[in-house]
Amino acid sequence: MTRRNLLFAVVVVLLLAGIAIFQYNMPPLIHGSIIEPPKAMPDFTLQSAHGPVSLSDFRGKIVVLYFGYISCPDVCPTTLAGLRQALNNLGKSADQVQVLFVSVDWKRDTPDKMASYVSAYRPDFIGLSGSQEQIDAVTRDFGIFYQLNPPDANGFYSVDHTASVQILDRQGNLIMTWPYGLSPADLLDDLKVLVRK
């Protein structure tokens, strides 16, 4: 090998090493909106099919908090399906994440119905419900809008609600929100970053 070829090979190796170091040290691409500084959130207690559940029960885990309702025709099932796929692909780290689905439809969504609904997505998802007063308090504290619309002739009604997802860190601080419509791959990317913290 000539001296010129050796020099070229050294330059190429150094360039590749530099690119690798740069990519390793790049901050990860985050798809959600980061809350900076993290916002301390109040604790709450709502009902599951197995009894009262408090937000503080999950200290030490990343909590993915979503507000919706069982009869939702599109936004809620799409969001929960995306969360299921992301957690399935997270592997063993999924046990560091807890999904809580809080119903804003306090008239229809009982704890038993919530448990049946969320378990169809993943058995470790927890469905929570409560009285109107409890739901009003929690949605107010977490900045969630919801409104039960007037029923139709058959008594069916829809519910308008905030479609974003809130993510709390292991200490219960709000650190990120996901807008509706992020792909499961985007959710997975963010979860990988969060569980490493």
Question: What are the residue boundaries of the structural domains of the chain, listed by start?
Answer: 31-196
3-state secondary structure of 96: helix
- Tell me: the pLDDT tens digits for 35-53? 999 999 999 999 999 999 9
> What is the pLDDT tens value at each position of the chain, 197 positions in all?
576 666 666 555 555 554 545 445 445 578 999 999 999 999 999 999 999 999 999 999 999 999 999 999 999 999 999 999 999 999 999 999 999 999 999 999 999 999 999 999 999 999 999 999 999 999 999 999 999 999 999 999 999 999 999 999 999 999 999 999 999 999 999 999 999 87
Q: Which token pair is 152?
A: 């139709």
Of the candidate CATH numbers 1.20.1250.20, 3.40.30.10, 3.30.70.260, 3.40.50.1000, the domain formed by 31-196 belongs to 3.40.30.10
Whether this prediction's pTM lies above 0.75 is answered by yes
Nearest to 186 by CA among 63, 81, 83: 83
Q: Which two tokens stand for residue 58?
A: 């999950």
Bond prior to 38 in cis (omega within 30° of 0) = no
* C-alpha to C-alpha distance for 75 and 4, rounded to whole angstroms: 62
